[in-house]
Structure 1
Amino acid sequence: MEGSDTAPDAIVEADATGNSKDRGAANKEAAKYRARLRDAEAKRDELTERLATLQRGQAETLAREYLADPSDLWRDGIELTALLDDDGNLDPARVAEVAQETVAAHRHWAAQRPPKRNPAGSGGGFKSGATGTDNYRQAPSWHKVLNTTRGDA
């Protein structure tokens, strides 16, 4: 019976040795996957930050119509997520609404509109050819230019 007792012990030792090898390989593989996961998470975070930066820039571009300094859009604590639609895209109507609310709360942040000029008015600019107010002088004809002997030129 002693012979039969040693055989199972030998099998247990062999299993334990085999398990430790398998466990070491499994740990290496798990470590490899953890490293891949950390790399993927870092890349995801980087891309998320880039997207947020681009969306903030786009929101500021849209807000420029209403605000002198488009970065004022964020000064009242508005978050980018409040300007996104259900799909995560920037909602131009929501940006315009928030920019108008910001201008209503802070009038001095409003974009200055250039004064409208009347191009035909006394302020200069272009004048219509039909005004008749220009000092129009008829150009000399070729006949008058070439025929200087008569003194008409």
Structure 2
Amino acid sequence: MTTPEPTTEPVEPTVDDPAAVDPSEQDDGKTKPGAEAARYRRQLRDTEAERDSLRERITGYERGEAERLAAAGLADPTDMWAGGVRLDDLRGEDGQIDPEKVAAAVSTLTEQRPHWRRPTTPRPDMRQGGGHADCLSSTTPWHEALSNRHRS
């Protein structure tokens, strides 16, 4: 007696098995109107979920760009959202983030809340470090300075 060899091909469901028949198909091969509508609703839900996901990603990118532009004037750029600025207020006519509108919003916020302003960098103090006038006005040539050092 020989044993049948296992096949690697998928087994096709038979029509006799009621669980194997697609419920959206009738006996004559046509789809039911309700099943077709359910398929379209499912596709619509999937498409809407993908759209919402992409919208959230784009909004995140736009918020990041607005915060990057606001960092020039605010100590913490996320304060812009706490100050009541909306992302739609920062868009230009083309729908992109408008740097001028961001600058105007930052200016308004810093007028209302000066403590949110980015601190200004102080001017460098030239008296500190290697910029002393004593060192710069020396008339001793380098070869004398170095030769005196080795004599002692």
CA, structure 1 residues 23+116, in 2 after alignment: closer, same or farther (shift >3 Å)?
same
Read off the aligned partner of 1:94 and give its amino acid letter.
Answer: K
- For residues 14-35 of structure 1, what are the alpha-carbon distances to aligned partners after superposition, in whole Å with 9 as ceiling and x for unaligned? xxxx9xx8572x2222211111
Q: Which residue of 2 aligns with 1:114?
A: 121
Q: Which residue of 1 aligns with 2:128?
A: 123
Deviation of 1:82 after TM superposition, in Å, equals 0.5
Q: Which residue of 2 aligns with 1:10?
A: none
Deviation of 1:125 after TM superposition, in Å, equals 5.5
Read off the aligned partner of 1:103 and give its amino acid letter.
Answer: T
Q: Which runs of 5+ in 1 are unaligned?
A: 1-17, 145-151
- For residues 28-58 of structure 1, what are the alpha-carbon distances to aligned partners after superposition, in whole Å with 9 as ceiling and x for unaligned? 2221111111111111111111111111111
Aligned length: 120
Deviation of 1:77 after TM superposition, in Å, equals 1.4
Name which of 45, 48, 54 aligns with 2:55. Answer: 48
1:75 corresponds to 2:82 = yes
Q: Which residue of 1 aligns with 2:137?
A: 133
Q: Please state which structure has a larger fraction of its residues in helix.
A: 1
TM-score after normalising by structure 1: 0.67
Inter-partner Cα distance in structure 2 for 1:74 and 1:45: 21
Inter-partner Cα distance in structure 2 for 1:66 and 1:108: 11
TM-score after normalising by structure 2: 0.67
- Larger CA Rg, structure 1 vs 2: 1
1:29 corresponds to 2:45 = no
Give aligned-pair identity as a percent: 35
Deviation of 1:63 after TM superposition, in Å, equals 0.6
Name which of 53, 58, 66 aligns with 2:73. Answer: 66
Q: CA RMSD in A?
A: 2.9
Partner secondary structure for residue 52 of structure 2: helix
Inter-partner Cα distance in structure 2 for 1:114 and 1:125: 20
Deviation of 1:124 after TM superposition, in Å, equals 2.8
Q: Which residue of 2 aligns with 1:9?
A: none
Runs of 4+ in 1 over 4 A off after TM superposition: 125-128
CA, structure 1 residues 136+49, in 2 after alignment: closer, same or farther (shift >3 Å)?
farther
